[in-house]
Chains A and B, each alone.
Chain A
């Protein structure tokens, strides 16, 4: 069971590394969107500190969305998705691998980059730590839920826009608890409650999403 997950992760990471432009452009998108906000709302540190959690989290959400349409599309086009579906083990395991690999190349870099961008918004150190922690905890759920949307819209016209329409409403709880954790830390209330709820969401999403995605992929492959 772990063997197949590891094999898929290994394959997707190898492919992502041979096509670094995708990872880098999603990261740049994140950086640019976050940096645009101070230009839009003005440089007052108080206002920026208040906006920072929401801005960083929304930008992370959008940056994740960018890479989702290709999660299954490439494999679908060249026929490897069929081969994965025909392997003698449940497709959900392979999808679990793909979700992890997607997180490793999209969510993880975002989380590692976020504290640097948080400095632009004058966030205190403890808030920066919580920001990184909340992104580390929450982005796997984004990859998981996103995989469902990517599988449902596989091969459809205008799939990218449709994908955001389907997935963004489902991202709301992650956004609320993720940004809420940072917010609470800035306000001096402590973000532990938010973080544990975020962890619960991520576990639920990672348990449930690959199987829902696998079901959607089977529908798309019919």
Chain B
């Protein structure tokens, strides 16, 4: 019973808003810390890759960005499911706060993929299964954001967006599978990435960068969800108290 109570307490916007505010600096600090450590290992310490030369160092942002782009979509779908099942106010806002960061991650993944592909495969873009799926994932993000932006009523936007996310998450494996199949049929195995055994420093560099991206995404999403919360709940007493409280603090 006590757990239940706590869960509800944190799910209530009035508690969550200040909590998020306190959490943001921590995640920002983690992001900076992991980022610096990861860059140090990846850019300064790690040796070159004997097949790909120094160009492989793009991996330290390409792979974390791709992971995050997929992970964020899954997290959004998770919030969507929670929101549709339990009708919690916060879930839809969380999904909306995550979407732009997820889309940026997908874009970064494509951008760095292109910059990696040019020296390795000799082309900015190849219809490789992974790049193609990533492109479709970017379309899914854009579709979600466009749908949510087109609906005026925030509650309807949450629900419709959530439904779209669930439909998308069911489709992602199907899309990935079909694209991969299509790719192998058309291209043979000509553009497989070289799978060199990775040095331990490289692996650590990549993991640290992944943690950096992860903390970064959380910090940005929390900040964004705070604006959405204020906007949505601006007629409630807690927002009024919160705003006036902040005002007092500034004057003091």
Q: Known A-B contacts: A159-B150, A222-B155. Give 9 more (CB < 8 A).
A: A153-B147, A158-B150, A165-B146, A173-B177, A176-B182, A201-B174, A219-B159, A219-B160, A222-B156
Contact string against B for A residues 47-82, beta-carbon threshold 8 Å, 1 for contact and 0 otherwise:
000000000000000000000000000000000000
Instruction: Tell whether B170 is near chain A: CB-to-CB under 8 Å.
Output: yes
Q: Determine, out of B2-10, B43-51, B65-73, B137-145, the stretch whose residues face the partner at the interface.
A: B137-145
Instruction: Tell whether A32 is near chain B: CB-to-CB under 8 Å.
Output: no
Residues of chain B within 8 A (CB-CB) of A156 are 150-151
A residues 143-172 near B (Cβ < 8 Å) are: 148, 152-153, 156-159, 162, 165-166, 168-170, 172
Task: List, sorted by A's number, 20 A–B pairs whose CB atoms are closer than 8 Å.
Answer: A152-B147, A162-B146, A165-B142, A169-B140, A170-B167, A170-B168, A173-B171, A173-B178, A176-B179, A176-B181, A180-B182, A201-B174, A212-B163, A212-B167, A216-B160, A219-B156, A219-B163, A220-B156, A220-B160, A222-B156
Instruction: Tell whether B136 is near chain A: CB-to-CB under 8 Å.
Output: yes
Instruction: Tell whether B200 is near chain A: CB-to-CB under 8 Å.
Output: no
Contact between chains at B170 and A208 (CB < 8 Å): yes
Instruction: Tell whether A215 is near chain B: CB-to-CB under 8 Å.
Output: yes
Q: How large is the interface on A (under 10, 10 to 19, 20 to 34, 35 or more residues)?
A: 20 to 34
**Among the interface residues A208, A212, A219, which one has the most CB atoms of the partner chain B within 10 A?**
A219
Instruction: Tell whether B185 is near chain A: CB-to-CB under 8 Å.
Output: yes
Instruction: Tell whether A121 is near chain B: CB-to-CB under 8 Å.
Output: no
Number of interface residues of B (CB under 8 A): 28
Residues of chain A within 8 A (CB-CB) of B182 are 176, 180
Residues of chain B within 8 A (CB-CB) of A219 are 156, 159-160, 163
Contact string against A for B residues 113-125, beta-carbon threshold 8 Å, 1 for contact and 0 otherwise:
0000000000000
A residues 73-99 near B (Cβ < 8 Å) are: none
Residues of chain B within 8 A (CB-CB) of A212 are 163, 166-167
Complex CA distance for A159 and B147, rounded to whole angstroms: 9
A interface residues, Cβ below 8 angstroms from B? 148, 152-153, 156-159, 162, 165-166, 168-170, 172-173, 176-177, 180, 184, 197, 201, 208, 212, 215-216, 219-220, 222
Contact between chains at A165 and B163 (CB < 8 Å): no
CB < 8 Å neighbour of A172 from B136, B142, B163: B136
CB-nearest residue of chain B relative to A179? B182
Q: State the Cβ distance, A218 to closest chain B Cβ, in Å.
A: 9
